[in-house]
């Protein structure tokens, strides 16, 4: 009898612990729910260290800006749980650009094919994102170069409005050499730290910290086809492929901004 009770208690304990373990950050990164080809990029993108640096907790309300195919979404969706919510700000399904419409449709299909994405809400990237002062953290990975100009101002402004006072804005972006012109930033896909910080401060953010988690000193940021010369894109295809493979993915800045508690 005592043995039976002991076994039942062990089963109950296991059932209690298992859901908690599923929301551990390292467990989310190691999850079999992730696409195998995405996990190959972990050593270059350092998701555990990056999300830890940004202070992301599993019960937060988080917005991921422009998630693309969902590389980070796979991790965040596995990690975020009630009362937390993950919001993915993707391109509009009604965009005039066919590439954007296809990207949004493919992302929605991915979200609907796995119950892991049950707490993911999809909103439009160029919308107000969320109710004012309602979000704990906003994150974006390798996207600033796509928004240079008025779009960057629009997205940073809406990000600031959506965050709670004290909320954080985490940015990972391909890092241009200091003094790189705007024209070259748009052409190359690399953005200077100075420009990213300037625009963030313009919209009210405070720079809280920098990290070299995603730095790559091998990257000279002056490649024939810009950042897309490097893996995983290999825009030059087989030309000098080993050379660019040896360099690896781009050198990236990792910046943490905060919305002031008192405005």
φ, ψ for residue 149, nearest 5 deg = 110, -155
Report the sign of the C-alpha dihedral through residues 147, 153, 155, 160, in that order: positive
In a domain, 12, yes or no: no
In a domain, 15, yes or no: no
Q: Give dist(CA 93, CA 101) in Å, integer.
A: 5
In a domain, 209, yes or no: yes
What range does the domain containing 247 cover?
25-258
Q: Which residues pair with 28 in a beta bridge?
A: none
In a domain, 9, yes or no: no
In a domain, 2, yes or no: no
Rounded to two decimals, the pTM is 0.90
The model's pLDDT over 224-248, given as tens digits with 9 standing for 90+, comes to 999 999 999 999 999 999 999 999 9
CA distances (Å), origin 119, targets 66, 115, 230: 17, 9, 34
Q: H or E element: which one contains 232?
A: none
In a domain, 31, yes or no: yes
In a domain, 180, yes or no: yes
The model's pLDDT over 30-63, given as tens digits with 9 standing for 90+, comes to 999 999 999 999 999 999 999 999 999 999 999 9
Q: Give dist(CA 147, CA 237) in Å, integer.
A: 26
- The confidence score (pLDDT) of residue 262 equals 77
**Residue 12: pLDDT over 70:** no
DSSP calls for 68-105: TTTHHHHHHHHH--TT-EEEEEE--TT-SSHHHHHHHH
In a domain, 135, yes or no: yes
- The confidence score (pLDDT) of residue 18 equals 37
Looking at residue 203, which CATH number applies to its domain?
3.40.50.150
**Residue 7: pLDDT over 70:** no
What is the number of structural domains in the chain? 1
């Amino acid at each position: 009898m005592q043995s039976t009770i002991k076994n039942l208690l062990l089963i109950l304990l296991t059932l209690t612990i298992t859901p908690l373990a599923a929301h551990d950050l390292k467990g989310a990164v190691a999850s079999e729910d992730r696409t195998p080809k995405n996990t190959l990029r972990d050593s270059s993108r350092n998701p555990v260290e990056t999300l830890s640096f940004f202070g992301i907790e599993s019960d937060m309300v988080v917005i991921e800006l422009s998630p693309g195919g969902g590389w980070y979404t796979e991790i965040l969706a596995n990690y975020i749980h009630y009362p937390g919510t993950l919001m993915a700000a993707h391109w509009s399904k009604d965009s005039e650009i066919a590439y954007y419409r296809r990207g949004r449709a493919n992302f929605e299909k991915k979200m609907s094919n796995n119950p892991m994405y049950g707490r993911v809400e999809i909103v439009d990237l160029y919308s107000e994102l969320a109710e004012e002062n309602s979000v704990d953290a906003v994150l974006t990975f390798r996207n600033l170069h796509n928004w240079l100009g008025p779009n960057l101002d629009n997205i940073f402004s809406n990000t600031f409005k959506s965050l709670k006072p004290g909320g954080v804005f985490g940015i990972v972006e391909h890092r241009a050499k200091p003094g790189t012109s705007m024209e070259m930033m748009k052409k190359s896909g690399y953005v200077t730290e100075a420009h990213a910080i300037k625009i963030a401060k313009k919209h009210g953010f405070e720079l809280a910290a920098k990290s070299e988690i995603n730095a790559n000193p091998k990257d000279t940021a002056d490649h024939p086809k810009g950042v897309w010369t490097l893996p995983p894109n290999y825009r030059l295809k087989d030309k000098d492929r080993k050379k660019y493979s040896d360099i690896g993915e781009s050198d990236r800045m990792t910046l943490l901004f905060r919305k002031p508690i008192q405005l």
